[in-house]
Amino acid sequence: MKQDDATLQFDENGNLRHLLSLKGIDATLLTDLLDAAEGYLTTPGALPARSQSLAGRTIGNLFFEPSTRTRASFDLAGRRLGADVLNLDVNTSSRKKGESILDTIYTLEAMQVDIMVVRDASDGVPAYIARNVKDHVSVLNAGESDISHPTQGLLDLLTIRQHNPDFKNLVVAIVGDIQHSRVAMSASEALQTMGVGELRLISPPALAPDSSRFPGTRIADNLKDGLKDADVVMALRIQRERIGNLDGVPGIDEYFANFGVSHESMKYAKPDAIVMHPGPMNRGIEIEGSLADGPSSVVTKQVTNGVAVRMAVLDRIGKIMSAR
């Protein structure tokens, strides 16, 4: 993302208009969004929180990459705020007809779809759309190439805060395919804004990130160093097709032994450390199944928080929209 993309997110009054990246979202705004999200959490079994704050608005879910969970999460978040949600299966129809992305966007705008939720495999697509929409339209990035997934970053931040709000004294370790991970990028941006004590990125050397993309982090190539006294351990999904095929990336068994987040490797971390994963999980590869289902795992809490942070973002953007 170019430097000015961070400022592109705000309108002329400094209000959040688009959510493209967590870069440029300061600690106050992050905290406000997490606080608002907390307000949408209810006890399991209770009816989900609802409001009518987006009643009459239309949200377009444009997923140019397949997705079940993030799409469903945005869908439910929008509906629980009273919005109409239009799910567009973009791959199978207009792209077949060769329509450009902007023409799809202009079409939706003309149908009074005012909030566009966009996932795309290419760099810069959400910002490109944000630069081209009308003044009253907002764009939410729902996953962009390997560089940004801001609502995931928010839900991760909320989940960590629920464990321990004292970010300055926390050690957070992210393990796996850092190089290709928009999840790691957004989490890193958010955590550093909150002044996290230490952020460590652990991966096989072949999947290590360009360190300039993650300033202020510590890069490790083994779990022993990386997880030492960690408060939070986040395992990342690894694409199966990369395992054993990419030069320097070991096969499944060796990957699990060396980089799997497991009961064994969690011994390096603090006794009360939590285990996170953005899902969908490859059990037995990047995470041990019984650990994911155990008491230290907050994996399903992350999902619950995901709906809540998306409601918080949608609600905030919708209110600013209505005030214009």
Residues at the site binding a copy of itself, with contacts judged by CB under 8 A = 42, 44-45, 47-48, 50, 56-58, 66-69, 71-73, 75-76, 79-80, 84, 86, 88-90, 92-94, 96-100, 103-104, 106-114, 134-136, 240, 279-283, 299-304, 306-307, 321, 324
Bond preceding residue 280 cis, omega within 30 of 0: yes
Whichever of 7 and 112 has its CB closer to a copy of itself, that residue is 112
Asked if 224 and 197 touch (Cβ cutoff 8 Å), the reply is no
Asked if 128 and 139 touch (Cβ cutoff 8 Å), the reply is no
Asked if 236 and 175 touch (Cβ cutoff 8 Å), the reply is yes
Quote the least distance from Cβ 173 to a copy of itself, whole Å: 23
What are the φ/ψ torsions at residue 261 (nearest 5 degrees)?
-85, 115
Whichever of 171 and 311 has its CB closer to a copy of itself, that residue is 311
Quote the least distance from Cβ 116 to a copy of itself, whole Å: 13
The residue type found at 127 is A
CA-CA distance, 314 to 71, in Å (whole number)? 14
Asked if 179 and 203 touch (Cβ cutoff 8 Å), the reply is yes
Whichever of 248 and 280 has its CB closer to a copy of itself, that residue is 280
The residue type found at 35 is D
Whichever of 119 and 200 has its CB closer to a copy of itself, that residue is 119
CA-CA distance, 227 to 261, in Å (whole number)? 10
Q: Mark 198-222 as b/e (b = at least 16 C-beta within 10 Å).
A: bbbbbbbeebbbeeeebeebeebbe
Quote the least distance from Cβ 69 to a copy of itself, whole Å: 5
